[in-house]
Amino acid sequence: MATVTLDRVFLSLAADLTSVVAAFSSDRSEVLAAPGEVRRMANGRLRTVTRAGTARTLGVTLRNLTPAQVVLVRSWVARTVLFRDVWGRKVYGAFFAIDVSDYADRSAQDVAFTLSEVTVSEAVA
């Protein structure tokens, strides 16, 4: 049986999947949050109160990007993108700020951002 080992993440604009940034990544984190709280009800009882849905955010750092790739990622701020990683995650989302770090020898840059998941339907109409 053949196996595939992925070593890079892929980020592309959701509206145009032909424009892709493939990069090494580190410092990935995932946070899954459900809206809810604990409230005090009648007779002092504590109950959970929740709402439907969950929110997922991914912390991503793209490593060793070229200046052209950094410009492309900058142009995607506040737009819906598709993120694929080595763990098999496929997440549509948006990011609203990026943190660009230069390498000391000016050979490349790292770009960090927090991707907030959005709901996208892939159904064909």
User: Do the domain assignments include residue 3?
Assistant: no
Residue keyed to tokens 């509206």: 15
Asked whether residue 94 is domain-assigned, the answer is yes
Confidence check: pLDDT of 5 > 80: no
- Is residue 51 very low, low, confident or very high in pLDDT (cuts 50, 70, 90)? very high
- Measure the CA–CA gap between 73 and 79, rounded to whole angstroms: 10
> Could you tell me what percent of the chain has a pLDDT over 90?
80
- pLDDT of 22 reads 95
What's 16's domain CATH number? Answer: 2.40.30
**Does 20 fall in a domain?**
yes
- Span 59-64, mean pLDDT? 95
Is residue 1 one of the residues assigned to a domain? no
Mean pLDDT of 43-66: 94
Residue 123 domain flag: no
In a domain, 98, yes or no: yes
User: Which residues, 6+ apart, have CB-to-CB distance to 123 below 8 Å?
Assistant: none
Instruction: Write the pLDDT tens digit of every residue in 25-48.
Output: 987 899 999 999 999 999 999 999
Mean pLDDT of 37-65: 94
Check whether 125 has a pLDDT greater than 80. no
Q: Is the pLDDT of residue 9 over 80?
A: yes
Q: Residue 87: give the domain boundaries.
A: 9-117
Is residue 95, in this structure, part of any structural domain at all?
A: yes
pLDDT score for 8: 93
Q: pLDDT tens digits for 101-124?
A: 999 898 899 999 999 999 998 888
- Report yes or no on 125 lying in a domain: no
For the chain, the domain total comes to: 1
- Which residues does 121 contact at the CB level (< 8 Å), separation at least 6? none
